[in-house]
Amino acid sequence: MDFNQELQELRAQGLHRRLRRMDSASSRMVTVEGRPLLMCASNNYLGLADDPRLTRAAQEAVAEFGTGSSGSRLTTGNTQLHEKLERELAAFKDTEAALLFNTGYMANLAALSALTGTGDLILSDRLNHASLIDGARLSRAEVQVYAHCDLADLAQKLAGAQGKYRRILIATDGVFSMDGDIVPLPGICGLADAYGADVLVDDAHATGVLGANGAGTVDHFGLQGRVAVQMGTLSKALGAEGGYIAGSRSLIDFLINRARPFIFSTAQSPAVVGAARKALELVHAEPQRRQHVRQLADHLREKLAEAGFCVLPSETPILGVVIGAAEEAVQFAELLEAAGIFAPAIRPPTVPPGTSRIRLTLTALHTEADCAAILTAFQAARASLEQ
């Protein structure tokens, strides 16, 4: 099999990607292929990925339970660590139960493919994450895509679906990862109630960041008990790895028995679970982390907009700065890196053609001085491209 022609086409379109090697832990400053850079692209929102307290918790878990879990949760891989974390996640999300998965991607695939099927309808936001899109495809349910965060379009589709399906599930991101905007969840829940639908929210980029308790979009809007399926990750703000589904006890029992990504996957390693438990503890104990990163993001967003950059509206640590063409976004990212800023270009198919961007993400470890350095680098990159 020869893929050289297709690879050449990707290069010609500015869409070819390559792996970048990190030579240090994920933190405010990182070493990328031997060079120190200010990290502005990670999902390490609370700055916990290299926190020594998580490291110690992982080491303690390994010392007691070993390095590997040895099997699936339904055979030999279930430990008291897994069960404790699930109880803590359920309390965190204010649900009856929770279930761990190896990745957030697997959690979404599991939920959608297990909970819906032939004769059901999934209503999916146009900008949903790939894991929701792929899970919907695997489910064999009918899928209808509604305009991004458009309640009128969603209402029209719900009205047209009445009496035609066994089950209707509205699937949406809580925070959209490329734009940083927050789902209008109160309106979606109201429509779900009115038309007899259920709601699944992917809170990957909201967990630890949004809400009075850092529990995500349901917490942010005070909608406890209104969302049937809450998905989250341990690998972003919580600085560990994996995902989870939170909801009713019957939902979790059903997933244990029907979700193939859970049934046929080796359980997460003790180290990962131990680190995640400590991170969850710190989300409760140190609310100043999420407060700081959101304030810092608001500050940088304002400064970039004042400087004339096209910054997408958001209330989260994600700042999408639209550049335009894929090739120009790649050049812009290269100039930023030359100035000491690591923020790769985001291009199609991740974002629509013509909207390639620099996706900046801040963490609780960043400072106002860092924001000033980012702004200076952006202005210099723009000036260089305009010459």
pTM, rounded to two decimals: 0.94
Catalytic residue check, 205: yes
Q: Residue 17: is its pLDDT beyond 90?
A: no
Instruction: From 285, 301, 332, give the residue that closes a domain.
Output: 285
Same domain, 278 and 314: no
Report pLDDT for 357.
96
Give the Cα separation of 29 and 292 in Å (integer). Answer: 18
Same domain, 155 and 123: yes
Catalytic residue check, 70: no
Instruction: From 285, 308, 334, give the residue that closes a domain.
Output: 285
Kindly state whether residue 187 falls inside one of the protein's structural domains. yes
Report pLDDT for 271.
98
Q: Residue 124: is its pLDDT beyond 90?
A: yes
Write the single-letter amino acid at 244. Answer: Y
| CATH number, domain containing residue 217 | 3.40.640.10
Percentage of the chain beyond pLDDT 90 is: 96
Exactly one of 82, 129, 157, 236 is catalytic; which is it?
236
Same domain, 350 and 296: yes
CA angle 341, 207, 105 (to 5 degrees): 85
Kindly state whether residue 5 falls inside one of the protein's structural domains. no
pLDDT band at 325 (very low <50, low <70, confident <90, very high): very high
Same domain, 281 and 333: no
Report pLDDT for 12.
87
pLDDT band at 136 (very low <50, low <70, confident <90, very high): very high
Instruction: From 250, 285, 320, give the residue that closes a domain.
Output: 285
pLDDT digit string, tens, across residues 38-55: 999 999 999 999 999 999
pLDDT digit string, tens, across residues 198-237: 999 999 999 999 999 999 999 999 999 999 999 999 999 9
pLDDT band at 61 (very low <50, low <70, confident <90, very high): very high
| CATH number, domain containing residue 367 | 3.90.1150.10
Kindly state whether residue 342 falls inside one of the protein's structural domains. yes
Give rounded-to-5 percent helix, strand, coil for the chain. Answer: 45, 20, 40
Same domain, 257 and 316: no
Same domain, 224 and 292: no
pLDDT band at 314 (very low <50, low <70, confident <90, very high): very high
Same domain, 226 and 109: yes
* Mean pLDDT, all residues of the chain: 96
Q: What is the pLDDT averaged over residues 151-158? A: 98
Whether the bond into 349 is cis, omega within 30 of 0: yes
Same domain, 276 and 316: no
Kindly state whether residue 48 falls inside one of the protein's structural domains. no
Report pLDDT for 1.
85
Q: What is the pLDDT averaged over residues 115-130? A: 97
Same domain, 133 and 186: yes
Cβ neighbourhood burial of 313 (10 Å; 0-12, 13-18, 19+): exposed
> Which residue, 72, 70, 106, is CA-closest to 242?
106
Exactly one of 42, 131, 139, 177 is catalytic; which is it?
177
Kindly state whether residue 6 falls inside one of the protein's structural domains. no
Helices marked H in the chain: 4-12, 52-65, 80-93, 104-115, 130-139, 151-161, 185-195, 217-221, 249-258, 260-263, 270-285, 288-306, 326-338, 368-386
Exactly one of 157, 205, 292, 366 is catalytic; which is it?
205
Same domain, 19 and 77: no
Kindly state whether residue 379 falls inside one of the protein's structural domains. yes
Kindly state whether residue 261 falls inside one of the protein's structural domains. yes
pLDDT digit string, tens, across residues 105-122: 999 999 999 999 999 999
> Which residue, 349, 238, 241, 218, is CA-closest to 290?
238
Q: Residue 126: is its pLDDT beyond 90?
A: yes
Catalytic residue check, 384: no
Report pLDDT for 24.
94
Kindly state whether residue 303 falls inside one of the protein's structural domains. yes
Same domain, 224 and 268: yes
Answer whether 82's CB lies under 8 Å from 268's CB: yes
Neighbouring C-beta atoms of residue 52, cutoff 10 Å: 7
pLDDT digit string, tens, across residues 169-207: 999 999 999 999 999 999 999 999 999 999 999 999 999
Same domain, 278 and 291: no
pLDDT digit string, tens, across residues 339-360: 999 999 999 989 999 999 999 9
pLDDT band at 284 (very low <50, low <70, confident <90, very high): very high
Listed range (1-10, 76-85, 281-290, 353-362) with the worst mean pLDDT: 1-10
Q: What is the pLDDT averaged over residues 143-163? A: 98
Enclosing domain of residue 293: 11-40+287-386
Total structural domains within the chain? 2
